Amino acid sequence: MPSLAIVIVNYNTRDLLAQCLESVYASATHHPFCVLVVDNLSSDGSAGMVSHDFPQVTLIKSDRNGGFGYANNLALRWLASQESLPAQSAGVIQSSGPRPGKQPESEIPSEGTSPFAFPCDYVLFLNPDTVLPPEAIEATVGFLEEHSQAAVVGPKMVKPDGSLDLACRRSFPTPVSSLFKLTGLSRFFPRSRLVASYNLTFLSDDETAEVDSVMGAYMLVRAQALAQAGLFDERFFMYGEDLDLAYRIKARGWKVYYYPAVEVLHHKGASSRKQSDRSIREFYRAMNVFYEKHYAKRYSGLINAVVTFGIAARGALALLQNALRATERKRVT
């Protein structure tokens, strides 16, 4: 019977985290699983709530808010140190990983190397602001079991108003797709395969499709592929980590799928709402990190300069627009 570890990174989302955990433990699944919650130094009592209300959870308390990738890596390193999937909670673990942004290169292996092995078949990366339907885990694990070349699957993510969270299926941000996204042209031509290539809005919301990346808010990954690709790149703080991981997994010959037969509620942006300006800066900084890491070597210095300027200019505009909004209308990303 395939097993999985569910990793949830939390930062000041106590009430939503409780709802998320309730939905996880209400899942109608036969697959054995353990839940690891990494608390990124929350100040709202999240860690205490988990210890008191969900003693079956292994709680990892980070000594700093090192970001999404950093916190996930704390859980993955601990998981890789176990000989078997924990049958019960390991209690509260005080954890201090490498300095954020200074991840050892050995943790992002070259082709053919595998510094990590996990005691489970799958790892589910889950945001605390999600609510799972009972069939989500069973169905997504079943999808990967039936598709041996698939390493990653993500469900249809919907916002509280019922609209699709566009980030749940994406292409990689190439210079062309980024241009259409940053200029806003993709919103005006949502059915164009060229112009709307980043968010794939030309596809039906209910169409299963092979894509470049799904969303880290619910990202089920085959442990074998994760071991090959390595841990999250901690240079990304709160955006871009999922894209980067999907890129490295696909580079090793695996496939990524959007699977809308499963629909997950996503209260998007809950953990970053109180720091909207920072989240905007991190969003555009992540775009720049991704471009420099995966695309800059392919293009001339002139193109790279144009792309870098474009990202910076669009980020500055987003900050200005956010500053002019009423407080209750501040945008997260």
Q: How many domains does the chain have?
A: 2
CB 218 within 8 A of CB 152: no
Sign of the C-alpha dihedral computed for residues 213, 219, 225 and 228 taken in this order:
positive
Which is more confidently placed, 111 or 30?
30
Q: Model confidence at 11, in pLDDT bands (50, 70, 90)?
A: very high
Q: Tell me: do 162 and 282 sit in the same domain.
A: no
Q: Tell me: do 225 and 144 sit in the same domain.
A: yes
Q: Tell me: do 112 and 161 sit in the same domain.
A: yes
Residue 14 is part of a domain; what is its CATH number?
A: 3.90.550.10
In this structure, the number of other CB atoms found within 10 A of the CB of residue 192 comes to 14
Q: What is the mean pLDDT of the chain?
A: 87
Q: Is residue 135 part of a domain?
A: yes
**pLDDT for 212-271, tens place per residue?**
999 999 999 999 999 999 999 988 888 889 999 999 999 999 999 999 999 999 997 654
Q: Tell me: do 236 and 322 sit in the same domain.
A: no
Q: For residue 72, what is the enclosing H or E element? A: helix 68-80
Q: Tell me: do 300 and 159 sit in the same domain.
A: no
Give the type of residue at 90: A
Q: CA 145 to CA 161: how far, in whole Å?
A: 32
Q: Tell me: do 224 and 294 sit in the same domain.
A: no
SS3 124: strand
Task: Find the domain containing 166 and state its range.
Answer: 4-170+212-267
**pLDDT for 122-152, tens place per residue?**
999 999 999 999 999 999 999 999 999 999 9
Q: Tell me: do 111 and 256 sit in the same domain.
A: yes
Q: CA 72 to CA 56: how far, in whole Å?
A: 19
At residue 110, the pLDDT reads 52
**pLDDT for 71-127, tens place per residue?**
999 999 999 999 899 888 878 888 766 665 555 555 665 544 566 789 999 999 999
Angle at 267 between CA 266 and CA 268, to 5 degrees: 90
At residue 295, the pLDDT reads 80
Q: Is residue 206 part of a domain?
A: no
Q: CA 48 to CA 228: how far, in whole Å?
A: 35
